[in-house]
Amino acid sequence: MAKITYIEHSGKKHEVEVANGLSVMEGARDNNIPGIEADCGGACACSTCHVYVDAAWAEKIPAKDAMEEDMLDFAWEPSELSRLTCQVKVTDDLDGLVVQLPEKQI
């Protein structure tokens, strides 16, 4: 289990525990975190679970694959820290992960 902090665009923080094996998106969904829409349900077919990973974590999480890179082209104001939370699986190594939600999802 890992504690993950989701920070809304407004700055409001939500620290929740997410079980290993779930995605960061499922952790947000299961804990009613506002700002993660997850329209495709985690199939990497949209960009509505887009976040910016805290810079301290950028090198600690698995790299993006080509499909995620393609979907991020459709995200609101993507950056090098952008990730789709449906593609990041929770492990003990992610304990303390911090993600910032964008102003909106598209």
The domain limits of the chain are 2-100
Output the CA torsion sign for 27, 95, 82, 67. negative
> In CATH terms, is domain 2-100 a member of 1.10.150.530?
no
Q: In Å, what is the CA distance from 35 to each residue of 72, 75, 85, 101?
A: 16, 13, 12, 7
What is the token pair recorded at 61? 């999480």
pTM to 2 decimal places: 0.95
Could you give the angle at the alpha carbon of 72 between the alpha carbons of 100 and 97, nearest 5°?
30
Encode pLDDT of 45-94 as tens digits: 999 999 999 999 999 999 999 999 999 999 999 999 999 999 999 999 99
